Structures are given as C-alpha cells and as structure tokens.
Amino acid sequence: MKRLSSIFVAAALVIVSCSQAGREKPKIGLAMRSFDEPISVAIRQSIETRALDKADLSIVDGQNQQSTLDLEAGSFFQKNLGSLAIDPVDGKALSPIIGKAKDARTPIVFFDREPSEEAMRSWDKLFFVGTRGAEAGEAMGQMLVSFWKDNPAADRNKDRKIQYILLSMDPDSSDTALLEASCVKALGAAGVGAERLSAEDEKAEDRPSGKEAAALIADFSERIEAVVCADSESTLEAIDAFKAAGFFKGKRYLPIVGACAGDPPQWMTDALGWGELLGVAAADAANQGKAVFDLAYALATGRNPSKAGWRITDAKYVWMPYRKLAGKPRNPSPARRK
C-alpha cells in the first residue's frame, strides 16, 4: 500500500513538473524613447526588475526620434508578443504604430509622454501610465506660496505679486504651458498675484543653449522675485546662472522651484540641502515602471488590467502623483521680517 502511494505521489510530481515546464512566460515588447535620458533609464530599470521571472522582454531604443521608434517597434509584430509598452517621442504621431497594433490585436501601454487624446480614443486596448503636468505646477506654486507668506521682504516692489521668470528646455510645449498655468493658479488660490517677466524682443531659440537664465537676469535683474523651472536641466541652469550673478551669498537669495521627471540627481539633492533650491516636484519613476509592467503583463496574459493593482481613470489612464521635496529656504532679509 505504501509502495502504491509512493507511485501516485511520484506521478503527481512528474505531472506538475511537466505542466510548469510547458508554461511559457508571456512576451512583452518594450520600446524606450531613449536609452540615455535619466527618466527613461529609471523607468526601464523598474520595468526590468518587475519582469524578472515573470515575462520575457524585447527592448528597443528609439534614439529620441519617433521615426526610429516606429521602425524599431515595428519589429515587434513579427514576434507574436502578448503586449507592448511604449514611451513615445511624439504623442501626436502614433497613428502608424497604433494601426499595426490594432491589425495584430496587440494591446499597448504608453508611458511617460502622453499620447494625444485623439490617439487614445482610437482603440479600447490603449492605456497610459504617467504624470499630470498640472500637478507639478500646483506643487511648485504651493511651495512658493509658503515662502512668500513666511517672507514678506521677498515682495521687493510691494505690489503683492510675484514677478517670476519661467525656464524650460521646451518652452513651447503644452506640458510647459500646463505647468505654468497650474503654478499661477495655485498662487492665485492663495491670494498671491503673479506676473511673468519675459524678454519679448529676443527669442529664446536665438540664444546660445544654457544662456536663457543669464539673459533674463541681464534683462530684469532685481525685478525677478522667483524662478519657475519646468525640468531638471532648466533648474540646474537657473542655479548656476543666479550663483554666477551673486545670489545665495550672504542675504542675497531668490526662491527657485523646479520639476524633476524621476528621482532627483545628486546635484539637485545637494542644492535642496544648501538652500539654493526652494523645492522640487518630483515624479516617481520607480512606481511608473511598476505600473507599466503590471498593466502590460495583465494584457499579455489575458487578464483585466483593472485587476492589476492600479487605479485606472476613464478606463485608460494610470496617473502617478508627484512628490514635493522641500529645500532649506533662506530668509532674504531677517531684519525686516514681521
């Protein structure tokens, strides 16, 4: 009897083993906008970590060109993949890749750069994981409000408005416009007016790269009461330019707020600690990567993405909140503080 029981146990183990061996991991295509940009690197690393022992990833580099991304991602459709995860270069130029995905019935999770609303409506198997630019601007506005109310001397001309400059690597983008508008709205909601200082007689594109802040300092000098930066590159430019102009020495201070598309780099953390940066609105790249993989994995395995563990808005969007990282604000004139 014992021998018969042992035979049944052994047979059961063989069946389970064969079943597990025959079970293939789902295959997912991952098309990165760039292998070099910090936010892309951080999200990719998070996706790869999440995919360990769960899925086989095919990864391609778009080299920051939408045409290259289309070409590289096009190779996915010869591989019988279960789903795709794509970081677009241009959210308004996705018709070719969406058309191929629809023909192949391969669902897509877009991430980081948001596709156009028209593109997202074109098929019910399209999803997006990313951040709202308005949240970054709102967080930056709130940090400026706190500083402004704690430091009345920051209102140099006593007009009850913040005269600010805006810096962005892509000043004409809709994301920059949205960030600025939401920052100004947050200021207004707290009873603080805002006026943007801009040199209309000199186009930003005519200036040497990295010289926008220096040019605005030359144009407006002491009229500038705050700096709003739409990305980490512009934030670094602002800090360097105002340090070169003599700020952050003694009592000469200016509040600078910036946005970061992932975990802040070391220089940004240092600037927060040294009082050269009032605050940062930082996106959570690690959780973005987790959400991207979880949705792509659910789609590749035939599961409902709403059961993947992330809140999906409008049946398509997973929004990741920004984190507010506060620096060490300096009082520009302690003797005049009430």
Is-contact 157 223, C-beta < 8 A? yes
Give the Cα-Cα-Cα angle 229, 292, 321 (nearest 5 degrees): 40
CA distance 276 to 17: 60
Rg (CA), the chain: 25
Between the alpha carbon of residue 147 and those of residues 121, 163, 196, 207, the distances in Å are: 42, 14, 18, 31
Whether the CA torsion 310, 313, 318, 321 is positive or negative: it is: negative
Residue type present at position 261: A
| Residue-wise DSSP of 116-134 | PHHHHHT-TTEEEEE--HH
Q: β-strands 108-111, 279-282: how paired?
A: unpaired
Q: Provide the angle, in degrees to the nearest 10, between the axes of the packed helices 95-104 and 66-74.
A: 10
Local structure of 33: helix, strand or coil: coil
Residues with Cβ within 8 Å of residue 64, at least 6 apart in sequence: 33, 34, 36, 37, 89
Question: In the prediction, which pLDDT does 204 show?
Answer: 45
CA distance 88 to 66: 7
**CATH 3.40.50.2300 domain residues, the chain:** 26-131+284-307, 133-282+323-336
Question: In the prediction, which pLDDT does 23 show?
Answer: 63
| Region of residue 254 (left: phi > 0; alpha: psi -120 to 50; beta: else) | beta
CA distance 27 to 83: 7
What tens-digit pLDDT sequence spans the chain (338 residues)? 444 444 444 444 444 444 434 468 999 999 999 998 878 888 999 999 999 999 999 999 999 999 999 999 999 998 989 999 999 998 889 999 999 999 999 999 999 888 999 999 999 999 999 988 789 999 999 999 999 999 999 999 999 999 999 999 888 877 788 899 999 999 999 999 999 998 654 444 444 445 788 889 888 988 999 999 999 999 999 999 999 999 998 878 999 999 998 888 899 999 999 999 999 999 999 999 999 999 999 999 999 999 999 999 999 999 999 999 998 766 554 333 22
| CATH 3.90.45.10, applies to 26-131+284-307 | no
Class of domain 133-282+323-336: alpha beta
Question: In the prediction, which pLDDT does 85 show?
Answer: 98
CA distance 329 to 319: 30
pTM of the model: 0.75
